[in-house]
Structure 1
Amino acid sequence: MPSLGSCGVLMCVYTEERWTVMSEALDALTQQTRSPDEVVVVVDHNAALAARLRSERPSLRVIANEGARGLSGARNSGTAAMTSDVIAFLDDDAVPRPDWLERLAEPFEEAAVVAVGGWAIPRWPTSGVPAVLPDELLWIVGCSYRGLPRDRREIRNVIGCSMAFRRQAVLDAGGFTDGIGRVGKTPLGCEETELCIRIRQRQPSVRIVSAPDAVVDHLVSPDRVTWAYLLRRSWAEGLSKALVARLVGASDGLSSERTYARRVLPAGVLRGVAGGRRGLESSAAIVACLVTTTAGYLCGSAATAGRRRGQRAA
């Protein structure tokens, strides 16, 4: 397997509501300490947005998602269209810091590395850091959370808004699985987790590593700092985990989650209890998140079992 060659950036977009931060992210790509060899923007079934991008950024390569609506289909369309050896994936609401691509690319100098996960720091609304989202729950808003390694080491999976893959590894694995992950504002996820596990299952000798010095600032919209979003996102995460477990097996699909639930979350609850009124709200949020995610997982697992019984009966 080759070491690092060319390195491009892929951004998937779907709504003009994120135009301001999307533009900031694209501008930041022109100021990287390592210039991307190519930048491709995939528009997810939104002709008006594609036309605006082509009009206002004529030098940018803009393509349409030729697959199913959603993030997985958009990522697959972009991967197929690009030629870079390594593809760095950037969310449309995440702004990379100047050395983001350089730091994300460095581990690929080792031939065995097939994927690298960066770090995402929340950019909070003007209301400030919400008690309902303590550090243990920052995955709710797509950011790096307490419990992830802060040094370079091997990990099970990368985080979606700041990650890179060898293009050939993605193609060989069949790409991102449709039916997993976000479609519009539906807060499902785990498509990059499932892909990482599948790649490792096919090639156990390859490595997936963290690069916490490859940082993006991930915008958190005001609607995502509420109890309602916490519960909705937790439920969707449980459903997503059930689907991942069905596709790749519960042993691999839930390995990191078991450690997180047994060690990280209890410590977060205790930390909150000792932190006064605000800390108590954070502790309550952790408990509510765990209960709701578990309920979503059980519901998703039961639905899968029901479909299997129906198929056998048929």
Structure 2
Amino acid sequence: MRKQAFILLCVVVLGVVGTCHGGGLKKNYYASKCRDAEEIIKNATEKRVAIDPTLPAKFLRMHFHDCFVRGCDASVLVNSTANNTAEKDAVPNQTLGGFSVIDDIKAEVEKKCPNVVSCADVLALAARDAVSSKFKRPLWEVLTGRRDGRVSRISEALANIPSPFSNFTTLVQNFANHSLNVRDLVVLSGAHTIGVSHCSGFFNRLYNFTGKGDQDPSLNATYAAFLKTRCKSPTDNTTITPMDPITSLTFDSNYYVVLKQKRGLFQSDAALLTNGGSSNLVNQLLNQNKFFAEFAQSIKKMGAIGVLTGNAGEIRKKCFAIN
């Protein structure tokens, strides 16, 4: 009876059962439809990561940005048209990279199994496989069965993607809006252990934190001085800085070590130390085995946000365009 009531609630609130949190996803979804789908994606991803070691961070960030807008429906991959400005062109997404690689991986799957595997699943699997490639084992489970959305709007990306300038309260609310809790917030922030940022993501912390030409007092002074040698203009859109200044290409728990040293790059990183509960979680996640175990749970949860399944959405032929 409770299950029936839940399904009814999903229909009333969201319009289709398939959009309920995680509904319809399962292990080996493509086993009978395209037996080699996940292997094709894994091999194609690993081949490209071997050439470009920055792809794990790019795919992970892209997956995150996708799921936080309309759910994990590959809407972030869609190109703008004359009649619509898509998510991809929103400021938070203008620094994403790897779109063409996702398109290429999708094309390889299409050769084997046309019109079967969604771009949303390609992205979710490629993010996992790219990050896992160095470990020779999958770091988390990816349930599949997502379908692709038909809508991608710049306004929704601006409204839903967490800002690097957010304080703790804003971050908690943003994650709660997507059925993620404080633990998920702290754990998923650990993805900042790989990847880079442009100066615009933290420039205010160096030069104008409160609007008075001051520096963020919560930022390690020595680290701030180093960052100032790299970022000298708020309009610098080319200089990049590792989010983890020590192991920016290695997926590990070093993000939390750096955070404890007050060297978290973003205001949103430093915010995790402003709350007792989240600060305690940071201490726990210094243990890499603990971080990996927790990350596997939180990203699986994130990967189920607002998914389209069943007959909802579509299976895009090309990830950058609605059919």
TM-score w.r.t. structure 1 length? Answer: 0.31
TM-score (norm 2): 0.30
Q: Between Structure 1 and Structure 2, which shows a larger proportion of strand residues? A: 1
Higher relative CO (Cα under 8 Å, sequence separation at least 6) belongs to: 2
